[in-house]
Amino acid sequence: MSVDLSIRPIGASVVTPAIVSSTPEPVKAAVPTQLPPDKSVTAVQTPSQPNPIHSQDLGRQVTIDRAAASIVYQVVDNRTNQVVSQYPDEARLRARAYWRAEGEAKQEKAGQQTDHRA
């Protein structure tokens, strides 16, 4: 058993016209943007602060978020006890805790509706 398959274009082929771009008149009459140094604006150079990620005062800790049932990795500044970075972030932990509570509520509701009499 053989199947002959041929693919042919239907209709006339489309010829795309060549696109000629010309500079619009307002661009041709625009004012040059080169300003003298006393008229230009530059970004203010702020003194760079030490990067806390590479500091020796950082500690690492691992905790378990029971509501979200997740392990949380944190980098903590030992001087201030503030969390510098965390994985997963707070929003994700809240979402996991919410969905976990929703799942437990559905299981409880399903368990209450089940007739265990035989």
Q: Is residue 3 part of a domain?
A: no
Q: Is residue 99 part of a domain?
A: yes
Amino acid present at 17: P
State the residue range of the domain holding 98.
56-110
Q: Is residue 102 part of a domain?
A: yes
Q: Is residue 84 part of a domain?
A: yes
3-state SS class at 24 = coil
pTM greater than the 0.85 cutoff = no
Number of domains in the chain: 1
Burial 19-40 (b: 16+ CB within 10 A, else e): eeeeeeeeeeeeeeeeeeeeee
Q: Is residue 13 part of a domain?
A: no
Q: 59: closest CA among 74, 42, 39?
A: 74
**pLDDT one digit per residue (tens) for the chain, 118 residues:** 555 555 555 555 656 666 666 777 887 787 777 777 777 777 676 665 555 555 678 889 888 888 888 889 998 888 888 888 999 889 999 999 999 999 988 888 877 766 667 6
